[in-house]
Amino acid sequence: MLNYDKIYLIGETHSSRPFRGEIDKYDLAEPEISRGENKVSEIVFVKHSMGGKTLYDVIWTTNAFPLIVSDRVIELFKSNGITGWQTYTVKIYSKKNELIDQKYYGLIITGRCGYQDYSQSSIVMDKIGITTEPHAKGFYFKDNYWDGTDLFMCKTDENGESTMFRFCSQKVADLIKKEKIKNLSLKKTTDFSLSISLYDIKLTDKQKFEMEILKTSRKHGV
């Protein structure tokens, strides 16, 4: 059984302060590139779109899918034997559309785990906006499959659909904290939750029973 407490979701901080880029050529920002399923054969130009001028180790884009990282991050990955990744070359441009003389790379994640298995999630009450409603808590992998790489993403599901959830091992999480790599967030997969109604999550009979107990308890103030 996987120790999901030692697996983390990589996400944004959603701060408006850091430099946020944009890739004009949308075919160079498609999700299949970040998932390692399509190749990039040219330099990708990333221009300033919003946020400040300060470049952090991680750059997110308004294109949503690409994840851009500094040369320092890549060197740390190499020197610490981090697995499950590749890169493509990018050039970063400032607010004034001037080339910034700093090395950055597009991060490709090649490691894989099973797609999300909601049947393993627990049912909890959590807030969404100003309301509290049932959520499926915990991001678990189908058949508890993980190929053991340090950086990984879900395989396509039974319908051939893919997601952009990015995961890392405890080793990467520790490295990020130790080296103070900024402009990303880490969340344990066991702390992840989604609204059941909003995402139309299909529940098992056991989960449906758990949800009804929670609703009844909340209704009666138990």
| pLDDT tens readout for residues 39-68 | 999 999 999 999 999 999 999 999 999 999
| pTM for this entry | 0.94
How do 67-70 and 58-60 pair as beta strands?
A: antiparallel
Would you say 162 and 35 are in contact if contact means Cβ atoms under 8 Å apart? yes
Give the pLDDT band (50/70/90) at residue 145.
very high
C-alpha distances in Å from residue 94, one per residue of 47, 60, 100, 106, 114? 6, 14, 6, 17, 39
Locate all alpha helices (DSSP H) within the chain, ordered by sequence: 31-34, 71-79, 170-178, 205-219
| pLDDT tens readout for residues 2-51 | 999 999 999 999 899 999 999 999 999 999 999 999 999 999 999 999 99
User: Which two tokens mark 161?
Assistant: 């659909």
% of the chain exceeding 70 in pLDDT: 98
